[in-house]
Amino acid sequence: MNVHDLATPALLVDVDAFDHNVHLMASDRPGERLRPHVKAFKSTALAHELDVAGHHGFCCATPREVEGMAAAGLGHDLLLANEVVDVRRLQAMTTGSEARITIAVDSEETIEAAVRGGVSEVLIDVNVGMPRCGCAWRDAGRLAELARAKGLEVRGVMGYEGHLMVESDDQAGKVEAAVAKLLQAHDEVGGDVISGGGTGTWRTNRWVTELQAGSYTLMDTAYAASGLPFRQALFLWSTVVSVNRQGGYATADAGLKALGMDHGNPQVQGGDVWYCADEHTVFSAAEGHDLPAVGDRVRIVPAHVDPTVAYHELLHVIRAEEIVDTWPVDLRGW
């Protein structure tokens, strides 16, 4: 098939850019030094490509991702890097599973849920500066003792400096200060694992034993603006459905319901985006370009890869304009 045979909107993955990204990261963080985060791409087929590249442990954000990865034979070492208090979900995830499953905990309540849910291994989740999940580093040792007293194996600690992923002002220094809290917690907790970081801090966070990066595989405009060496591999293929030449704008058939918008507007190749509506992206021609005609196809570059992928059922893998493979987005949902 050719990309022009596709109904739009449709997600495209440039396989050459993807391969470049995978090989670049693997050369810097080989094997277990990288725990790819499947929340970025939500596809076991894509995860299989990373497994082939030597990364056999994966990071998940939802029980659905854990279950899907295990069912796909990718359960060598799965980390659910999120607190879960629904014991029924944990039981469904662990009962009868041959996968190695570790879960993040940051409180007495999440430890108790892990015990009742049949989880046997945990990481103590430490708040390193982003106001989300995680205990205070000073409390990590106490929680580790409690977890061990309840029969859990504590593998180590994790912490996510998400607030620094696109930091431009002394990122290295700020990451070092954030990770210092994680290392202090690890001194109290023990274990072999110090897990954290992401695509945006792949260069600066050299302290973790495993990097939780996922967006590097496909990329988006937010990370591209940070000057990372990974190539843009993900595009939203869209059809121009209306052109107003007097007004100087065109409208494509993909909008808010096809794009993650929390990082702002996407980019249209050869265009300047005015705004996105439910089903449409409106744009003018960029300098040096002409407005397209009705029926022309355009590539839209998402601003945030993770939620964009989650809107779609398929990733169409392409080389030039030829579709060479199709990867189901089979880890959607919770």
- Domains defined along the chain, listed by start: 3-11+231-328 (2.40.37.20), 30-212 (3.20.20.10)
CB atoms within 10 A of CB 98: 8
Q: Which residues pair with 126 in a beta bridge?
A: 135
Q: Which tens digit of pLDDT belongs to each residue from 208-260?
A: 999 999 999 999 999 999 999 999 999 999 999 999 999 999 999 999 999 99
187, 10 contact by CB (below 8 A): no
Structure confidence at residue 306 (pLDDT): 97
pLDDT over 90 percentage in the chain: 100
Structure confidence at residue 207 (pLDDT): 98
Structure confidence at residue 137 (pLDDT): 97
187, 223 contact by CB (below 8 A): no
Assign 122 to helix, strand or coil.
Answer: strand
CA distance 309 to 314: 9
Structure confidence at residue 248 (pLDDT): 98
Structure confidence at residue 196 (pLDDT): 98
Structure confidence at residue 312 (pLDDT): 98
Q: Which tens digit of pLDDT belongs to each residue from 1-29?
A: 899 999 999 999 999 999 999 999 999 99
205 burial type by CB count under 10 A (0-12 exposed, 13-18 middle, 19+ buried): buried
Structure confidence at residue 185 (pLDDT): 98
CB atoms within 10 A of CB 326: 12
Tokens standing for 243?
A: 């052109």
Whole-model pTM: value is: 0.96
Phi/psi at 321 (nearest 5 deg)?
Answer: -110, 5
CA distance 270 to 69: 38
280, 255 contact by CB (below 8 A): yes
For each of the chain's 334 residues, which pLDDT tens digit applies? 899 999 999 999 999 999 999 999 999 999 999 999 999 999 999 999 999 999 999 999 999 999 999 999 999 999 999 999 999 999 999 999 999 999 999 999 999 999 999 999 999 999 999 999 999 999 999 999 999 999 999 999 999 999 999 999 999 999 999 999 999 999 999 999 999 999 999 999 999 999 999 999 999 999 999 999 999 999 999 999 999 999 999 999 999 999 999 999 999 999 999 999 999 999 999 999 999 999 999 999 999 999 999 999 999 999 999 999 999 999 999 9
